[in-house]
Every structure is written in structure tokens, then in C-alpha cells.
Structure 1
Amino acid sequence: MRRNIKGLYTELAFEDGAALVDESIVREQLRQKRLKRQRARKKARRRALRRRIILLFLVVVVVCSGGLMVYEQFLSHQVVLRNRVYQNPLKYYQIQDSISLSGGDYELSEGYEGLKTAKVIQTLGLGNAVGMNGALYTSEIADTVADFQAQHGLDATGTVDLTTWLAMGLSEEDWYTLGAYVSPLRIDNTSSRTACIEAMISRAYDYLGDNYIIGASGAPGLGIDCSGLIMQALYAAGIDMSPINPVRHASPGYEYESANIWASSKFKHVDYKERKRGDIIIYCNEKGTVIHSAIYLGDDKVIEAWPNQVTESAVLNYQHSLVKGVVRPFV
């Protein structure tokens, strides 16, 4: 017994030849196949209708709520609607409801910078840690630390661990928090784009007059550098650039996080001629290497951490006259 190629009838084999089943069976098979196709088409039409109704509902809801920009992004599958008055498109850094940072308990060895290194330098009487390379953990500092450890009955490794830190009279809380500080949020779900920009700038002004400490990004009054200032200002406005963060910034090889800010595809890059308040100006040297970043205030002014202080300056001056480009945190 076998079926024909279309599966419409059954051919029965007998000793004296083959016989076909009744034609009514063939007609019934054809009818069933036709009904199956009709049901599939109706089901597909119902699904398509439901999709159109849902899309129309979203159009009405979003447009009526003033979210035309978000609706356009939805149509291009770029963003999921957020419970915010304002949110960046999905391909850029998203505004967060909360930001936290761990990893501040790192040990100090050659190449480290930042506030924890500055504390060690100041405690050992090796300088004030202010200025370019002022807070760099050099081999000379490692030797001094090793001497200190030997004098206090500790393993003379030249590396500052928690035990050595405490032996220097420094606080355990600072060990964990100095290098992993995040500025409190100054926005909420009702904040507009303009409010986010102003939160960023107002936080930057909290550091005005602070010392320039390389690799630092902590609370106001402790010292900070250019990219460290950008990090804290953006934290206040809900932007977390991690892995660009204070913990990594203090580690060897990450002094110039401004270069990584420039390289990030999660910022919108705009032409210098299109600069606006709240943009980040990226500076370079004659070779085109990124060396600095600052927050644009408008009227050709920036707020920046430049050795040896956080100041308000002209966007172009004798210290930084070459612009690599501009990135926009709030699009």
C-alpha cells in the first residue's frame, strides 16, 4: 500500500493489479486541505489586525502625551518607552534612576593615581599630591611605603593594602569609599532634557576652586581631574559611563579617560560649530591625541579641571587651543 505523490488517494496493491479508492475520498481530502488553508489565512489576517490596532493605540497614547520623539524612535525599533518625561534614545547612555559603584577597596601599587594615592602621599609627607603627576604612585613612593611597613612590623611589599592603610592612621571607611564615589542624583522622572543639563552643570560648579589631582573623581573639596569632573557631573544627571568610572580611572593606564569619553559610541558626536550648553568639549595636542575634556557652558566658556584647579575658562585659550571634537550627553 502506498500514497500517490500529492497524498490525495491511496493505491491498494493486489495480486492481480492495483485499485484506487473511491473518488469521494479524494474530494474529501481536497475539501479538508482547502478549509485548512482558509483557516490559516483568517488567522493571519486577525493577527495583522491586532498588530495594527496596538500600533494605532500607541500612536494615540504617545502623541497625546507629548512624546512624539519617543514614538518615532519606537517605530524604528530603537527604544522602549520609559516612565520619564525625557530619556535619551536607546543607542546612547540611558538616564538611570540610581547609580552605585563598587570596587573601591583596591590596593595601591606603582602606576595608581587618584584620591587614595594622594592620601598616602600626603600622610607620608611626600607632597601635596596636587598637579600633573602629583598623585602618581611612583617607585620612590613604593620604596617609602616599604620602609614604613618594615618599621611597623608589616611585610615590606611597597604595596598599600588595608592593613598598611590603617597603620598609617587612615580611616577604614575612606579605604572603601574615597575611590568609588558617586555624586547624588539631582533629577527625577519629571526632569526635562534642560533640567538634566542644568543638574550636570550645577554639580560641576560644586567643584569650582578645588585642587587638580590626577586620576581623582571624588566628593567636592578633595580634588579632581578633568575626566573625573565629567564623571561626577554626569552622575548627578543620571548618566553612568561605566566602565569609565572613578575606580578604573585611578588604576594604571586609565589616566586619560577623556580619550575613552571621546571614543564612546554612546555619546552623540557633533561638530564644534554646533556646540551647545551641556556638551563636552574634547581637546587634543598637535598630533591629534586627546589630552583634556571640559563641560561647555555656552557663550564660549567651559568649566574644567585643569592643573592646578577647577576653573571657569574660555573654551579656547593658550593652554588648550585645539579641539578634537564635541560629544553630547543629552540628545
Structure 2
Amino acid sequence: MSKRFKIAFVCGLALLMMSPQSVKADTTNTSKIDSQAIVNTKSITNLYTEDGKLIQNQKLGANTAWVTDQKLTYQGQTYYRVATNEYIAAGDVTISYGHAKSGIVAINDWGGVSFSHDDNGFYRNGQKNFVANSLWKYDQVDQSGGLTYYRIGNDIWVNSNDATIAVGYQNPSGWFQIQNTQIKPVGNVGYDLYNGVEGVKVYLVRKYFGYSNTHTIYDSSIAASVKSFQAHRGLPVTGVVNLATWKNMGFSESSWYSLDSYVAPLETNQTSTRSDHIEAMINQAYKYLGQTWISGAASSPQYGVDCSGLVTQALYASGINPAPVSAIQHAQVGNEWNSRMLWNDNRMPKVDFNNRQRGDLIFYTDPSTGLIWHVGILLNRDTMIESWPYAVQVHSIYSGRGNIAGVKRVFA
């Protein structure tokens, strides 16, 4: 029985697998295929001997894949060998090269040459080089001339001279998992303002009516001012700031949504190291330096934030989504103390205080209650960036923020 090089059935089975009788051709034109190639049958497919004779008592099933190592040209027709003396007509199959394997490659600093593949191997196809340091998904891998080739498009390949498999850092199982795509807003974008809500929109409304922002909260005084305003503007008198009331105060409709939906741009990717993620977190925190402390706030660097709002946006930039803690949730009633939720989240393990390092979060308790009430990001063992009344600032960890509760690690 002829030995076939079958690798997989997609559907169906080869039919009537019996050894053929064939007569070797007087002359044949064969060539070895440069690297591993796969032919896929389009339908139930005839087999031929190397002299072009139809094998009567067997066929190959439709949509099946076979390894081929040789191309035969006989009387102007092209065939691919799939067994010792069994061939498939080129018109009955599609051919692909390499083997299925997926991942991401990063183009090296000098850019990457674009290749295509035919039966004779890889060749430069003349297309524009790939941009240096760009990332590409691949779905096939092949070997040729001591190089690895990665298929990143329809017969578009780049090789290991110009590209490296992107192996980025990921936290262990059970920790916060790093995301390599932009984190999206979590919560109701465009929420109304009512008693107990905090954050940047409340800050702007309090400022509009001339109230202090020592504590940025929507309280009964704000509600009364809003009702009076609504009555004078012919709006429904609810004491709740909705979009219509917001716009009547002179604020834009776009800001009603953009203040809620801001999520720090992702500053890391699939190739980022642990250090890259830590630096992304700290770089985002520095964008708020000098901005006003605003309770319940976790929006863009155009405005202030409180301590856990600063940490939330810093985590976003580094690829960490700490949900259910989120920028929107932080402003909602009862969620001012997200520092407590972060302290209790086991996806950030506690570490020994003596082993603290840059990028760790340091937590403090209120001396009068023993409850967590503050969090900062360590810049080194003894310095942190934080939001503390009344600004985002850099300070010693021993600056009277309360009692140090401990340190938690974001990146293992």
C-alpha cells in the first residue's frame, strides 16, 4: 500500500484506499518543494500516477489537508505528490506553506522586508518594508535557509532576521491580569448628579454656584441651588443635574460624556516588560502632578483626582483594569473610599514592608478609626506620588498620612 503524507481531515474521509497499478512515465519533470507545504482538496478529488493516469479505485475526501513534498509537471499539467506514487492535480487543490501557529511578532529597529512564497521558496515581493517596532499577528510559521518565516497577511511573510516573537510580561494566575488592548470605560457614561455623588462633574457644579470644594459632594445645598436654577430656566424642578441642566449651566454636551469616559491611554503592549508596566503607571500619575485634590474624582489630567482616582488611572495606563473599581464607579454614592476596596483586593498581594519597591502601592489607615483612608504609588522605598488635600504631590511615605497599613504589589 502506498504511504500517504496526510496530516488532517477537515471533513470526510478518503475513499476506497487501495493500492493503484501505475506505469512509470518515460520522462517526468519533478521539483522538490522548498519547505513544508499543505494541499487542501476543494471537493472529492481524483488521484493520479506520476505518468498522469487516473487511479480508478480511490479518491481523496473533500476539504482534507495533505502534506506535499514534490511538484510534478507532466504534459503541461501540474500535480502535487501526496504519497509515494499518488498525485493530485493542482487545479483541484489550494496550497499553503508552513504550519498553523499564531502569535505576535515585533519588527526590529531597522524595519522588515516583505516576502511571499511559491513552490521554489521565499522571495522578496517588492512591497514596502514593515515599519520598525510595529507589531503584527501571524497565523503560519515556516522554516527556510535557517530562518523562521511568519505569515502576517495573505502570502505576506516576514522572517526572523527582521522580526522577533513578542513575548511580553504577564502577571501570574490570581494576580491582576495585564491587558494589551485599550481598557474601556466601566459604568454608566453620562450619569446624572444627585445627593451623594462626587467627582469632577460635581466639582464643576459646586464651583458654578460658588460653593467650596473642600469636600466635593453633591449635598442638599447643591440640590437647593439646582432647583432654583431649574425653576428660573423653565426646566423640570428636580434638584438633579441631568444633561439639559448641565447644558443650561453653559457646559458642553461633549464634556457631560467625556468627563465620565476618560480612561488613560494604554502605554504598554505585548512586548512590554515588568519595568515598562511600572513606568507606564508612574508616568500617568505624574501627568496629574500639581492638580487639585477632588474627592471621588478619577477623570483626565485636565482636572484633579483623589488618591484612589490617581491610582485607578495609573493602573489603566499600565494595562490593569481593577474593576469593580473604576473611574465612573468611584464617583457614585458610597464609593469614595476605593482605597479600601483596593486594599481588600487579593489580586494585588501584600508584600513585606521591608521588601517594598518602586511601583508598589502603599496604604494608610485613619488613626482615629483604623480604617484604610489613603493610598499612594511608591517611587522608591521612601517616596511616593499621591493625591492628598489639596493637590497631587510627591512626598515622603512618612509625611503624616496616617498609620502605614502595608504595601501591595501590582506587578509580580
> Deviations for 1:36-66, whole angstroms, at most 9, x for unmatched residues?
xxxxxxxxxxxxxxxxxxxxxxxxxxxxxxx
The answer as to 2:211 corresponding to 1:126 is yes
Structure 2 stretches of 5 or more lacking a match? 1-164
> What residue number does 1:151 align with?
232
> What residue number does 2:193 align with?
108
The answer as to 2:385 corresponding to 1:303 is yes
Q: Is the partner of 1:323 in helix, strand or coil?
A: strand
The answer as to 2:361 corresponding to 1:280 is yes
The letter of the residue matching 2:175 is: Y
Aligned residues: 245
Contact preservation (8 Å) 1:316, 1:322: no
**d(CA) in 1 for partners of 2:241, 2:166:** 45
> Deviations for 1:54-87, whole angstroms, at most 9, x for unmatched residues?
xxxxxxxxxxxxxxxxxxxxxxxxxxxx974200
The letter of the residue matching 1:100 is: K
Structure 1 stretches of 5 or more lacking a match? 1-81
**d(CA) in 2 for partners of 1:108, 1:140:** 13
**d(CA) in 1 for partners of 2:411, 2:253:** 37
> What residue number does 1:181 align with?
262
> Deviations for 1:271-304, whole angstroms, at most 9, x for unmatched residues?
2222111000010023320010000111400000
**d(CA) in 1 for partners of 2:347, 2:365:** 20
Contact preservation (8 Å) 2:188, 2:328: yes
Give the direction of change, closer, same or farther, for the CA distance of 1:200–1:150 in structure 2 (3 Å limit). same
| Aligned counterparts, 1:70-81, within 5 A | none
**d(CA) in 2 for partners of 1:248, 1:180:** 11
> What residue number does 1:193 align with?
274
The answer as to 2:173 corresponding to 1:87 is no
> Deviations for 1:2-54, whole angstroms, at most 9, x for unmatched residues?
xxxxxxxxxxxxxxxxxxxxxxxxxxxxxxxxxxxxxxxxxxxxxxxxxxxxx
> What residue number does 1:224 align with?
305
| 1:233 Cα deviation after fit | 0.7
Given the two structures, how large is their TM-score scaled by the length of structure 2? Answer: 0.58
| 1:199 Cα deviation after fit | 0.8
| 1:317 Cα deviation after fit | 1.8
The letter of the residue matching 2:395 is: S
| 1:221 Cα deviation after fit | 2.8
**d(CA) in 1 for partners of 2:341, 2:355:** 21
> What residue number does 2:331 align with?
250
> What residue number does 1:4 align with?
none
**d(CA) in 2 for partners of 1:190, 1:296:** 24
**d(CA) in 1 for partners of 2:333, 2:372:** 17
> What residue number does 2:183 align with?
99
The answer as to 2:289 corresponding to 1:208 is yes
**d(CA) in 1 for partners of 2:292, 2:174:** 35
**d(CA) in 1 for partners of 2:259, 2:366:** 31
Pick from 350, 371, 392: which aligns with 1:289? Answer: 371
> What residue number does 2:394 align with?
312
The letter of the residue matching 1:244 is: V
The letter of the residue matching 2:397 is: V
Pick from 336, 341, 348: which aligns with 1:260? Answer: 341
Contact preservation (8 Å) 1:179, 1:250: no
The letter of the residue matching 1:88 is: N
| 1:122 Cα deviation after fit | 1.6
Give the direction of change, closer, same or farther, for the CA distance of 1:172–1:84 in structure 2 (3 Å limit). farther
Contact preservation (8 Å) 2:356, 2:381: no
Identity of aligned residues (%): 42
Given the two structures, how large is their TM-score scaled by the length of structure 1? Answer: 0.72
**d(CA) in 2 for partners of 1:84, 1:153:** 60
**d(CA) in 2 for partners of 1:156, 1:168:** 14
Q: Is the partner of 1:179 in helix, strand or coil?
A: helix
Contact preservation (8 Å) 2:168, 2:269: no
**d(CA) in 2 for partners of 1:143, 1:231:** 32
**d(CA) in 2 for partners of 1:85, 1:212:** 35
| 1:104 Cα deviation after fit | 2.0
| 1:166 Cα deviation after fit | 1.0
> What residue number does 1:6 align with?
none
Structure scoring higher RCO (CA < 8 A, sep ≥ 6) equals 1
Q: Is the partner of 2:362 in helix, strand or coil?
A: strand
Give the direction of change, closer, same or farther, for the CA distance of 1:84–1:250 in structure 2 (3 Å limit). farther
The letter of the residue matching 2:168 is: V
The letter of the residue matching 2:192 is: E
Q: Is the partner of 1:276 in helix, strand or coil?
A: coil
**d(CA) in 2 for partners of 1:178, 1:290:** 27
Structure with greater helix percent: 1
Structure with greater strand percent: 2
Q: Is the partner of 1:254 in helix, strand or coil?
A: coil
C-alpha root-mean-square deviation of aligned residues, in Å? Answer: 1.4
| Aligned counterparts, 1:134-145, within 5 A | 135-145=216-226
> Deviations for 1:95-117, whole angstroms, at most 9, x for unmatched residues?
11220105221100010100011
Pick from 252, 263, 266: which aligns with 1:171? Answer: 252
> Deviations for 1:128-159, whole angstroms, at most 9, x for unmatched residues?
x3x4x1x1101000000000000001111100
> What residue number does 2:411 align with?
330
